[in-house]
Amino acid sequence: MNFKPHIFLLLLLIVFSACTKKDDPPVETKQKIKLHFYHKVNGEEARFDTMIYENAAGNPYLINEIQWFISDLSLMKSNGDSILLNDWKDIHYIDTDLPETHTWNVFDNIPAGSYDEIRFTFGFTEEKNQSFMFPNPPERDMFWPEFLGGGYHYMKLNGKWNEPNGNITPFDFHMGIGQIYYSYPDSIIGFVHNNFRVSLPNSAFEIQENEAMDFNIIMNIENWFKDPHVYDHNVWKGYIMQNQEAMKLAKENGHNVFSVEEVK
């Protein structure tokens, strides 16, 4: 049997259409959130490298830089359910010297609905704080020495304070894994994980279909030094990485360091 060329082409088109035609896919709804990170002192945006602050202990101080990690970002619902946002990454690094780190475009698609609270981990959980997981700077440079527990700093808050004798002395307010010593400094018999869970006050929100929302997350720096413990640089001096007592105090002061300033 001989087909005329135009008839053959028509039959091919019909078969191709029958094989490939499908129902249109449902329209995907996309709800997104974006976090913006700010660092403030007494309600004003932090100013760096200038001796203009005084903490609750009366120490004049300045801030050089702040570098820290947030992880395990979660959204809490009124029935107790939670959504862990980890589709793309579950750890974000913030550095006051690197503006590109001040915003986290969360990759996850957030189900539309009402949420009671935003929570996150300051630093990392013990399970996630693994040495060498960041091969490149700047995160790589947050490493915590292996002999002190390994993993990474939760935070480096570096600055200087004015001692009573007038000396301007650097301080490294660094948080991470603490040590339990049999004898200091070389007999470590245990480690303490000083991460903590943050529940942001006044962070309830409702997100509609195809809506994007922005949250401003504030680190209120002065609170690291005042509540419930008055932190005195003259007592704790400039270096607390191997001082679990000081890091425990800092951890407990962290209960109200973070807040949400604006939801839009």
Q: What percent of the chain has pLDDT over 70?
A: 88
Give the confidence band of 28 by pLDDT, cuts at 50, 70, 90. Answer: low
User: pLDDT for 239-260, tens place per residue?
Assistant: 999 999 999 999 999 999 999 9
The answer on pLDDT for 159 being more than 70 is yes
CA distance 34 to 262: 12
Say what the pLDDT of residue 16 is: 40
Say what the pLDDT of residue 67 is: 98
* pTM given for the model: 0.87
* CB atoms near residue 175 (< 10 Å): 25
Among the listed residues 171, 173, 196, 193, the one whose alpha carbon sits nearest the alpha carbon of residue 258: 196
CA distance 149 to 73: 24
The structure tokens listed for 200 are: 């942001």
The answer on pLDDT for 14 being more than 80 is no
Q: Strands 32-41, 212-220: parallel, antiparallel or unpaired by DSSP?
A: parallel
- With b for 16 or more beta-carbon neighbours within 10 A and e for fewer, the 5-33 pattern comes to eeeeeeeeeeeeeeeeeeeeeeeeeebbb
- Cβ neighbours for 105, distance < 8 A, ≥ 6 positions apart: 32, 34
CA distance 14 to 31: 40
